[in-house]
Structure 1
Amino acid sequence: MNPETRMLRRTALAAGLQSALAVAITVGVLCGVAVLIVLRSQEADQNTLLVTTVERTDDVTDPPAGLWLAIERDGHLDLTPGLPAEALDRNALAATAADGVTRTTGTSARHDEYRTLTQRRGDEVVQAVLDLRPAHVERDRLIKALLVTGAVGLVLAAAAGAWSGRRALVPLARALSLQRRFVADAGHELRTPLTLLTTRAQLLRRHAVGTPLESEVDELVTDARHLTGILEDLLLAADPREGRSHQRTDFAATVRDAVTAARPAATERGIQLDLAESAATPVNGTETALRRAVTALLDNGIRHATSTVTVAVQQSGKHVTLTVTDDGTGIDPEVMPTLFTRFAPGPAGHAPTGRRRYGLGLALVSEIAARHGGSVSAHNAHGHGAVLRLSLPRAS
């Protein structure tokens, strides 16, 4: 079974389980309401039957089915034949005979349960005793029926959810497959020219040894190598099936390398790029991805700065923080909520000329930070410019 099929089946199974859970909650609530309504209805019917029996029955010989009567008159107690001794509530009879208050009580013995209504009627006290076993049998039958129906409903809901989820995900799976093939093909096509570029840069470096261009050619070789690493990282990022191994990396060294690579672009724009030196700051991550994030933050600062971009790396507790500060116009408050969103539109009613431009760079920084268990934030400085901050967990 290929990875795409496994992903599709796992997702369909998750959809089925979610459907079953939703049905379980719904069925549970409905069953609870149904049982409560039945119990209330049974109790109301039982009370009505007891009251009617006490008020309309003249002797103990012919009560309704499931009922017994006890009538106390002038100290003599008449009982319906077959009345269980444990069902008779003699305390209620004595109390009602004394104060005339009507009482509804319950008695139980072994597995049997009874409800009694004791009421004064003229010069006599009448007690009706109702056997609750038929009501309990009906309640238990209802609960069993609800449980069976609910179980069948859960199975059907899970199956239907898995089936519908699989059908709904098929087009998405095809689209993802096409996307992965496109990225793989594009990566294959780019590897060849990058390999040639790296080879030619290395040959050029051999001829440039001892010349004024030696340092520039060395940086060209380094940039070509980094570009190859970025391509590999992009191919991994585009394929969710691939795992990414994180290694212990000196984040401060990564920042220094990125600043060195960004200085020519800053100089060309007339921007001074200042780096505050810091000690080694280890983090667990992918060096290529982290370099991409740092480069994106530096590029954003250089593009929007007026004259200076300040870069600092600091350790604070369990985190390592990179701060990039520019002295530009700052971030428009309308843009701030969507600053790290892909292709977020700019504020309405403003021309783009002379204003900050945002595309994929900061969105990629946010994604890389999330992949490394960190975060990225931005705010305007007190005066002019913007402050972008990348925070990562420090390696132990």
Structure 2
Amino acid sequence: MSASASGERAAVHRARLRVAVLTGVIITLLVTVVGGIADTVMTRAQSDQVWRELRYGAARGDLSSPPVCTWLFARGATPLANAPAGFPVESDMRRVGRTHEAVERTVRRDDTRYLVRTQVRADGKVVQAVFDLRFQLADRRHLWFALGVAEVVGLLAAAVTGVVLGRLAVSPLAEALTRQRRFVTDASHELRTPVTQVYTRAQLLARQAAAQDLPARHREGLTRLVGSA
């Protein structure tokens, strides 16, 4: 294989590789962007829903029978038996008792997070509502796991798609280079025979010129023609 043919093959291979890499990058970015948007939308929707339920529970919820994953504490009352450790947040209870202004916060405990709202009810009781976010956090982990799987599948699909697209996109270039190389080869072959014939005739004329004692300038011209062939 000639050096030019090897260079052409290398150029075609590089072009196919660029197409494959570009396709993989685009698909990866799309999966990442879609995952980020899905996570943001889900997190915001969950947060809004939980805060609505928490505010309703703090204002009107039954202290003895709170909703699932929610605990309600009244100032001065005995906490529920199944209440998570560290609740209620007494500092918030005292603050709300003094100011009568609701306080909301997020508390990290026991490898999870809790949303906490403390407020004064219409009957004057200071109530604190606590919501456990462990299930919402698990949903987010499941989402990111699914996105990770989708990312791997997307990369594999991108590799296959990139190879196919690379072949389709670069095939015209490879075919054009092949045709060009074939044309040059055929043209060289076609021109070789006439040139050989001219060279042979030039040699014959040079010998005849020497035998027939032609003028010196003619003999020199034929000699240069034979020497340059």
Select the residue among 36, 39, 42 that pairs with 2:46.
Answer: 42
One-letter identity of the residue aligned with 2:47 = E
Partner of residue 28, structure 1: 32
Query: Closer, same or farther in 2 for the Cα pair 1:96/1:147, shift >3 Å?
Result: same
Q: What are the equivalent positions in structure 2 for 1:242-281 lying under 5 Å apart?
A: none
What amino acid is the match of 1:176? Answer: L
Q: How is 1:327-342 mapped onto 2 (pairs within 5 angstroms)?
A: none
- Relative contact order higher in (CA < 8 Å, ≥ 6 apart): 2
Moved more, 61-70 or 170-179: 170-179
TM-score by length of 2: 0.75
**Offset of 1:161 from its aligned partner?**
2.1
Give the Å deviation of 1:57: 1.6
Structure 1 window deviating more from structure 2 (48-57 vs 83-92): it is 83-92
Amino acid at match of 1:95: R
CA contact (8 A) 2:31 2:150 kept: no
Q: Deviations over 1:331-365 (max 9, x none)?
A: xxxxxxxxxxxxxxxxxxxxxxxxxxxxxxxxxxx
> Aligned AA for 2:171?
V
Separation in structure 1 between the aligned mates of residue 35 and residue 140 of structure 2, nearest angstrom: 12
Q: Any runs of at least 4 consecutive aligned residues in structure 1 with deviations exceeding 6 A, and if so which?
A: none
Q: How many residues align?
A: 202
CA distance in 2, matches of 1:168, 1:24: 21
Does residue 57 of structure 1 match 2:61?
A: yes
Which AA in structure 2 matches 1:181?
Answer: R
What is the DSSP-based 3-state SS (H/G/I as helix, E as strand, rest coil) of the residue aligned with 1:175? Answer: helix
Report the alpha carbon displacement of residue 12 of structure 1 after superposing the two structures with TM.
2.7
Structure 2, unmatched stretches of 5+, are 207-216
Match of 1:79, SS state, is coil
For residue 175 of structure 1, report the CA deviation from its aligned partner: 2.0
Q: Equivalent residue of 2:77, what SS?
A: strand
Asked if 1 retains the 8 angstrom alpha-carbon contact of 2:101 and 2:119, the reply is yes
Q: Percent of aligned positions with the same letter in both sequences?
A: 31
Counterpart amino acid of residue 66 in structure 2: P
Cα deviation, 1:238-290, whole Å, max 9, x if unaligned, reads xxxxxxxxxxxxxxxxxxxxxxxxxxxxxxxxxxxxxxxxxxxxxxxxxxxxx
Aligned residue number for residue 143 of structure 1: 144
How do 1:95-110 and structure 2 match up within 5 A? 95-110=95-110
Match of 2:21 among 6, 17, 23: 17
Distance 2:165 2:182 in 1: 26
CA shift in 2, pair 1:105/1:162, >3 Å: same
Shift of 1:9: 4.4
Aligned-partner Cα distance in 2 for 1:56–1:129? 14
Larger Rg: 2
* Residue 133 of structure 1: how far off its partner (Å): 0.7
- Residue 20 of structure 1 contacts residue 158 of structure 1 at CA under 8 Å; is this kept in 2? yes
Residue deviations 1:168-227 (CA, integer Å, cap 9, x gap): 43333122101112123435666784996xx99xx9xxxxxxxxx9xxx9xx99xxx9xx
Q: CA RMSD in A?
A: 3.2
Give the match's secondary structure for 2:83. Answer: coil
Map of 2:77 onto structure 1: 77
Instruction: Please report how far the alpha carbon of residue 77 of structure 1 lies from its aligned counterpart in structure 2 after TM superposition.
Output: 2.8
Cα deviation for residue 118 of structure 1 reads: 0.4
Q: Which of 169-178 and 18-27 deviates more?
A: 169-178
Normalized per residue, the structure richer in strand is 1
Find the aligned partners of 2:33 and 2:86 in 1 and give their Cα distance: 37
Q: Distance in 2 between matches of 1:167 and 1:63?
A: 63
- Residue segments in structure 1 that go unaligned for 5+ positions in a row: 204-212, 229-396
Corresponding residue for residue 181 of structure 2? 180
Higher helix share: 2
Report if aligned partners of 1:102, 1:117 keep a CA contact under 8 Å in 2.
yes
Secondary structure of 1:85's match?
A: coil
- Contact map agreement 2:12 2:173 (CA 8 A) in 1: no
Q: Which amino acid aligns with 1:143?
A: W
Partner of 2:213: none
Q: CA deviation at 1:8?
A: 4.2
* 3-state SS of 1:114 partner: strand
1:131 Cα offset (Å): 0.7
1:128-139 to 2 correspondences below 5 Å: 128-139=129-140
